[in-house]
Structure 1
Amino acid sequence: MWDRPEPPSKPSPTPLSRELIVGAAIRLADEGGLDEVSFRKVAAALNAGPMRLYGYVETKDELLDLMVDEVYGEITPPGKSADWREGLRHVAHGIRDAAKRHEWFIDLLSNRPHQGPHALTHMETTLAAVRFANIDQVLDVVGAVMAYVFGAVRGEITELRAERSSGMTEEQWQRASGPYMQRMLATGRFPTLARVMHESSDRDSAARFETGLDYVLDGVAARHSL
């Protein structure tokens, strides 16, 4: 797909390009999720016939790959002077910020790397930020940090979706389930959960993300005596 040229442009009241198609698909996904992305709906958003799109993008999977790559292009690389810790922190927050703007983005991330030009640039600059001599250690460190980031961000996005579908914030949901939880905790079977309920601080998602990221980075530093 990345090497396939676009069809030659022809005079038309509704010009098309991969850039226009991807932009329309991203807007649809931002507004209604990935279920809103179809060739028919993208074509309608561009005031074009659906069959015209196939000259630029052959399948929906290709379209999704193009969308992911476009979002990767929004993530700025770490500065060349940043050390490994600053660099990975920058990347982690870049992914989180991109997923907060485009919630569907996290649904399309997995261990299988994307191969679009922006994704490859992101991968190159992320790996280059960890200046270890052993490339296997570089892969292990980046993999551990990305596993945390993907999991933490996916949890945040899931909570946002739950709030929208239920109409209740996390605090409202906790209050609604409070009487049941109090009865369960009164049995004495869940002493640690009782401590969580009564002693834990109420931190926002950004603070929890930062703390968890520090644990991972501290672990890397301790393992490598950095």
Structure 2
Amino acid sequence: MVNWEKAAQPAKAARAALSYEAIATAAIEVADGQGLDAVTMRKVAEHIGAGAMSLYRYIDSRDDLITLMADRVSAEAIAPPPTGDWRADLTEAAHRIRQVTLRHPWLARHALNAEDFGPGTLAMTESTLALLDGHGLDTGDMLDAWRTLLAFVQGHAFAEARRHEARQRRTDASETGAPGPSFLDKAAESGEYPLSTRALREAPRPPDPQDAFDRRLGHVLDGLAQAFFDRDRR
């Protein structure tokens, strides 16, 4: 496990080139540029300009390295202070999480257990639960609402990032030659998938990512309202 007390200490000047902060920053840069699978102790050490074995003075394993990365990135999604309007507050928190996930898509692939939470993850969680506190929800309800929102936002943003990458690859491929008919084109001609092909072909090309996110976020918030916030009115 990561020693969070040591990780929170500032690096000593003589060893500033190698510290928890430097290791986390280098690993995040590798993951952002090449994906989570590219993150290895050796590659991160090379990125810093250190020997791979020197990282083990700070991190016991690759799993601990990824936990350290996730904690540092989670701090980017700390929610603003609550206004009292839970829906507006959760909307703002969701937008922040979306932007963080778009910057670091690999984050959606790494689920942290509570015992792995560090200062960044705890600060982000605390700030978001504060948006739900005071609205008549018990602790279990607050966690359910928060995890539901987080799962939607991270999943949506991760898929959004992957679709962007796929479109870019298709654009690059089309510049080298005319693309042939896609499987979707052939499926539409076959008539075997009428609902799927009609829905996919009639959808905006491509839909505005922000509009799509806001619309679907509204559905999630409507569900949370019915499940938790409006139940005393029924």
Between the aligned partners of 2:201 and 2:58, the Cα distance in structure 1 is 57
Question: Residue 135 of structure 1 aligns to which amino acid in structure 2?
Answer: T
Aligned to 1:78: 80
Distance 1:41 1:48, change over 3 A: same
Between the aligned partners of 1:209 and 1:109, the Cα distance in structure 2 is 22
TM normalised by structure 1 equals 0.81
Aligned to 2:143: 139
Q: Deviations over 1:40-97 (max 9, x none)?
A: 1111122211111111111111110010011111123123325211221122111111
Larger mean Cα displacement after TM superposition, 23-32 or 191-200 = 191-200
8 A contact 1:91–1:126 mirrored in 2: yes
Larger mean Cα displacement after TM superposition, 151-160 or 17-26 = 151-160
The one of 145, 154, 157 equivalent to 1:153 is: 157
Structure 2's unaligned 5+ residue stretches are: none
Distance 1:158 1:198, change over 3 A: closer
Between the aligned partners of 2:202 and 2:62, the Cα distance in structure 1 is 48
8 A contact 2:45–2:55 mirrored in 1: yes
Q: Deviations over 1:107-151 (max 9, x none)?
A: 1136x4450111011111111101322333222222222222232
8 A contact 1:83–1:130 mirrored in 2: no
The answer on 1:162 being equivalent to 2:187 is no
Report 1:63-102 matches (<5 A).
63-102=65-104
Question: Residue 182 of structure 1 aligns to which amino acid in structure 2?
Answer: A
Structure with the largest fraction of helix: 2
Between the aligned partners of 2:4 and 2:81, the Cα distance in structure 1 is 29
Aligned to 1:51: 53
8 A contact 1:127–1:139 mirrored in 2: yes
The answer on 1:125 being equivalent to 2:127 is yes
8 A contact 2:32–2:104 mirrored in 1: yes
Question: Residue 218 of structure 1 aligns to which amino acid in structure 2?
Answer: D
Aligned to 1:196: 199
Aligned length: 219
Distance 1:162 1:109, change over 3 A: farther
Question: Residue 221 of structure 1 aligns to which amino acid in structure 2?
Answer: A
Percent identity at matched positions?
31
The one of 175, 178, 186 equivalent to 1:180 is: 186
